[in-house]
Amino acid sequence: MNVSKLILLCVVVSVVGLTSTLEVRASVSDPIIADLQAKLLIAGFSPGPADGYWGGKTEAALKAFQEAGGLPSSGRLDAETAARLEIDIPGTEGTPQDIHDLIDAGKVEVKASARAMDLVGIELRSGRPYSISVRIPLGTYFTAGSPDLQNMLTTKEVIRSLNSEDWVSISIQAASTDRQRGIPGGDVRLKVQKLPGTSELPKLFPVFSSSGASYPVLQAAIWIVTDNSTFEELAVLIQSQDGFSATRSINEPEVARAMRICSEAGIDIKARKIWSDRATIRGELADETLKEWLEQDP
């Protein structure tokens, strides 16, 4: 059986199994919990002060309210319990919340793993007693915390609901930034962060979303932006069959399409080094539309 694996040339550290846990600010007061506590007090139960902090007293009071009302005494603020108490919970009825906002509010716990060059693994768990709909947008950025290591970003958007205290595991298509850096390995701590305001990468995301492009195309476009890569430099990504033979993964058709995506995103592709390689790229293309596009005057 042939096993195909994407790897970076001259980099030998495996990314498989790399896992880290993000810090979650669990001490942040939650207005939904404060509302729950206030409503429980009005209903004659004793959750403690309405300070927005979840704890044993609030959970016990919620269970008592549920039992008294003939509801399942789960100790979670499910939809029926919330309706009885007239509590509105954003992000549960088709209104997903951005993962960055949820992390800032201390509402989710997150574990991140670089499972492959084109795959990020995320585990999520609700830090609250109610359901949360989480949006992990295209372009969610993962940093390795070192100037010597590559960072990663997602190339697809994913939405997941967290309905219990159990961990939910998600695999998301991704690509790496900073071609010249090493692959993170060992006990490296990954973090979900927002891209720097000076980055041109966000220009690519709307085009990525509608392009349906393959991983090599998206990876080439990212490296053209982050590293101003030439055609030969993009050869760093190779495909290995059974660990023996290796072939280039980003070839002329992928590079040409990546260049077109960059241009459509508003990036001045003619100012990038890759534009000087267009004659080489054009000579190996079968797509007449791309060939004609590459024949533009500089």
Q: Domain map of the chain by residue range?
A: 31-85, 93-196, 200-297
Q: Is a pLDDT exceeding 60 seen at residue 74?
A: yes
Q: What is the pLDDT of residue 296?
A: 82
Of 7-11, 102-106, 114-118, 196-200, the range with the lowest mean pLDDT is 7-11
Specify the pLDDT at position 56: 93
pLDDT at 258 over 60: yes
Band (pLDDT 50/70/90 cuts) for residue 115 is confident
Transcribe 117-154 into DSSP letters: TTEEEEEEEESSSS-EEEEE-TT-EEE-SSTTB--EEE
DSSP classification of residue 197: T
Q: What is the DSSP letter of 22?
A: -
Mean local confidence (pLDDT), 102-109: 90
Q: Cα–chain-centroid distance for residue 20?
A: 14
Looking at residues 190-219, what average pLDDT do you find? 92
Q: Which residue has the higher pLDDT, 208 or 163?
A: 208
Closest CA to 229 of 275, 176, 268, 297: 275
Q: Is the pLDDT confidence value at 163 over 80?
A: yes
Sequence-distant contacts of 31-35: CB under 8 A, at least 24 apart? 32/77, 32/87, 32/89, 32/128, 32/130, 33/58, 33/128, 33/129, 35/87
Banded pLDDT at 113 (limits 50, 70, 90)? confident
Q: What's the mean per-residue pLDDT of the chain?
A: 86
- Beta bridge partners, 126, equal 108
What are the structure tokens assigned to 121, written together? 């693994």
* Of 42 and 4, the one with more pLDDT: 42
